[in-house]
Amino acid sequence: MLKNNLLDNILLYSSLESTNNTAKSLILSGATHGTVILADSQTKGRGRYNRSFFSPPGHGIYMSIVLQLAKSHLRNHLNLVTLATAVAVCESIEATTEKVPQIKWVNDIFLHQRKVSGILTEKMVDKENIPWIIIGIGINFSTPKDAFPAEIKDTAGSIFLEDTPTITRNQLIAEIINHLLSPYHRTTQEILSEYKKRMMLIGKETLITGSGNPFKGTILGVDEEGCLVVLKENDQQISLSVGEIWQ
């Protein structure tokens, strides 16, 4: 097997606890940069804030890509890796379907006001203290409306929610891998501009949580580091590196 050759290593599993967890184990046992881990289902799929990510078999895409931090020019800002991934997922959906997804900062992708995909970017060091990034992507591809658990049934959607899929999961996976690895050669400005074009709620007053209590603010966009730029009710402009927008 050729070492250091991107896409040399695509690992496919029928079921895993979490592709991000498997990615972490592989990094500790010597994964190569660009290894892709795919599972048909997950028993402990995770999202941000340790929320669970519904991952039934047959209808979703659950994948993780492991990258050596030093090989990504976005290495200084983990948020930018998440932004680049969100752009890659949107562009892949746009390239293979007629659908027009939107992004809710920082890591959620929506179609018709329903969340169809989430991204979980994590960082770790290997046994030699070399830093790695794990990019986890979960996509509801064709999960039917009535299959979602009660707590997300009003907010979750699928790329093909009520219509018959016009592509296979494999086609979308291939497109995402190709897109995802090419944005790393794009400039940060290009990624930010593609991200902003697809950003939901720009100019809208929303409820936002940063690291503290929720507050009201108007979403202005994202800054050079992928932080959310918000105009607070007292006219103060702030940038949030962590947090969530509540519509």
The nearest distance, CB 164 to ligand BTN, in angstroms, is: 24
Q: How many CB atoms lie within 10 A of CB 223?
A: 15
The contact pattern for ligand BTN, residues 108-137, with x = CB under 6 A and - = no contact, is: ----------xxx---------------xx
Tokens of 230: 């918000």
Q: Phi then psi for 216, rounded to 5 degrees?
A: -90, 140
Q: Is 157 in the site for ligand BTN (CB under 6 A)?
A: no
164-173, Cβ contacts within 8 angstroms, sequence gap of 24 or more: 165/141, 166/97, 166/98, 167/96, 167/97, 169/60, 169/61, 169/141, 171/96, 172/61, 172/92, 172/93, 172/96, 172/139, 172/141, 173/38, 173/61, 173/63
Q: Is 45 in the site for ligand BTN (CB under 6 A)?
A: yes
The nearest distance, CB 38 to ligand BTN, in angstroms, is: 9
Q: Is 196 in the site for ligand BTN (CB under 6 A)?
A: no
CA 139 – CA 161 distance, rounded (Å):
12
Q: Find the binder of ligand BTN among 46, 59, 179, 198 (CB under 6 A).
A: 46
The nearest distance, CB 53 to ligand BTN, in angstroms, is: 4
The contact pattern for ligand BTN, residues 10-29, with x = CB under 6 A and - = no contact, is: --------xxx---------
Rank residues 47 and 56 by Cβ distance to ligand BTN and give the closer one. 47
Rank residues 129 and 211 by Cβ distance to ligand BTN and give the closer one. 211
Rank residues 68 and 107 by Cβ distance to ligand BTN and give the closer one. 107
Contacting ligand BTN within 94-113 (CB under 6 A): 107
Contacting ligand BTN within 220-239 (CB under 6 A): none
Question: Residues 171-210, buried b or exposed e (16+ Cβ, 10 A)?
Answer: ebbebbbebbbebbebebeebbebbeebbbbeeeebebeb
Tokens of 245: 């927008």
Q: Which residues bind ligand BTN (CB under 6 A)?
A: 18-20, 42, 45-48, 51, 53, 62-64, 107, 118-120, 136-138
